[in-house]
Structure 1
């Protein structure tokens, strides 16, 4: 193989193990020679020599959703910077059985650590993981069992609701995510607690499925109600559908109805009006998840009590404002 690639045997070894950097053009020649000869590096042998497989397993549910896809992208980028590849398994459902099967599948592929973006209905009691496997999760239910990192769901949601109350809205309606979603429940809880703390009426909760279509359908139910002046949507896609339904009903945003979303996806600032929303720092979350795996491998510790929180700031744009006539009412008071 070395003769075919025109390099030394040591260079072939460096390319196959990834142990040392090799010039891109040299690496391409070696990889081409490997392909011609049908050579595949022996992962088990490499692990014995170097102590790891340089591979991280990643389990996610519904990777097409914004939060999952953005976090996965960030994990892959951070792992690449550390010299690790990522093996992704998208589980069909968030049930403990499916997540367990995914763990077993990844274990057979020889991984050095495991990242779980979200296990949804799985719990520490139902999801038994190898005690020696470094694990990092982005799911608050595993706090105290596995090191966790995630956005400040509660703080971000409180800021969104308080922003609308401070503008002069008497209460805030909520379009929540599905009931089997941990982040959806945290955001709904923060919405309710903020209203109760302010001694405001807590409207009936409406639950969507994270899609713009569900936001549109639920928005149609809200658009005809004159008492609805502010809505906090649990993600930007549902907020986008809500804006559509309000426009169709002739309700002007933000003066008839203010809307706040969650995530700050790329399209949020290009909607009309631009969407006020809570920003999730997906890049930072992915980076921190990989760093948790690296720290466990370096320090040989499980870090079970570690829980990191990434700030989720409120980004104020044009979709939120005082309700129509509020300035005159305030002046009269």
Structure 2
């Protein structure tokens, strides 16, 4: 029958359990993968028939060998960067006649990663985009041995052949060099959380540019991407005030810094210069308007779809970011 005693529709894991195979094997049967032995395929198909398990899109793919769907595995999809990437991919996919299916995962729950992948594979997606910026997700991805083309949207050497991203290191170096060229030598870095690939890359870029100019550094402060953290970190830092500039790893934390500096009775950039990262739509309307590093998410989405669909001129590579200079950065004060 099609439902269990609780009225729930059968899932790919129900099929796997009754057929005594892994959910990856069921996914491969749905994708008509040639590596599946005939007897295994027959057993899985028989169980699917018994359970009346047949996702509509997957059923269509079994006939056409294509689902015209790109899967997105995303963590933190409400964050500006991830949300912008998803929107850009959806726009680029529609121009090529494809739909997008997104599975949101909780990276703190190890089971949610393979479950999210299985959910997308059950829909017979033609390609997979991974927007989950933690190292643990890439390791789980490697263990899955995917049968479809995939691309990860982060700067990393862990899976270089499948990586397409904005060059986070280069962006951080642009931001840091801008402050150095304005005469700043006491520069702090408010970094993102540990295990986030973008945060680690931006930190490396900051340290590399400071080292290239032979400027000593203090240990970066690890944040959590929120404006609230930026505010309280700013209040703590201003208790000592041994800096003239801060490079923030994202614009939201930069917003909190601006608030903290203003509450201390100081002015940006007269007393402290601030540079952010991302160029969120609101950055131009902060007070003062925020100098930041812009990522071209629309181009990233277009290239991502081109890579997955095998365009002849497409390759997994890095895009160069752009420094957008506004009024939150200025020459160091000469007291």
RMSD: 2.2
1:275 aligned to 2:290? yes
- Contact 1:139/1:150 (CA < 8 Å) preserved in 2? yes
Displacement of 1:261 in angstroms is 0.2
Displacement of 1:50 in angstroms is 3.6
2:309 to 266, 269, 294: 294
CA gap 1:221/1:142 in 2 versus in 1, 3 angstroms: same
Cα-to-partner distance string for 1:14-43 (whole Å, 9 max, x where unaligned)? xxxxxxxxxxxxxxxxxxxxxxxxxx9953
Question: For residue 191 of structure 2, what is the aligned residue in structure 1?
Answer: 176
Question: For residue 105 of structure 1, what is the aligned residue in structure 2?
Answer: 119
Alignment of 1:1-333 (within 5 A): 42-44=56-58, 46-93=60-107, 97-122=111-136, 125-127=139-141, 128-141=143-156, 144=159, 146-295=161-310, 306-325=315-334
- Contact 1:94/1:119 (CA < 8 Å) preserved in 2? no
Displacement of 1:109 in angstroms is 2.0
- Contact 1:137/1:146 (CA < 8 Å) preserved in 2? no
CA gap 1:180/1:201 in 2 versus in 1, 3 angstroms: same
CA gap 1:160/1:237 in 2 versus in 1, 3 angstroms: same
TM-score calculated relative to the size of structure 1: 0.78
CA distance in 2, matches of 1:42, 1:178: 40
TM-score calculated relative to the size of structure 2: 0.78
CA distance in 1, matches of 2:330, 2:160: 43
- Contact 2:278/2:295 (CA < 8 Å) preserved in 1? yes
CA distance in 1, matches of 2:160, 2:206: 27
- Contact 1:67/1:263 (CA < 8 Å) preserved in 2? yes
CA gap 1:290/1:317 in 2 versus in 1, 3 angstroms: same
CA distance in 1, matches of 2:160, 2:293: 28
- Contact 1:234/1:261 (CA < 8 Å) preserved in 2? yes
The alignment covers a number of residue pairs equal to 280
* SS of equivalent residue, structure 1 residue 122: helix
CA distance in 1, matches of 2:74, 2:138: 16
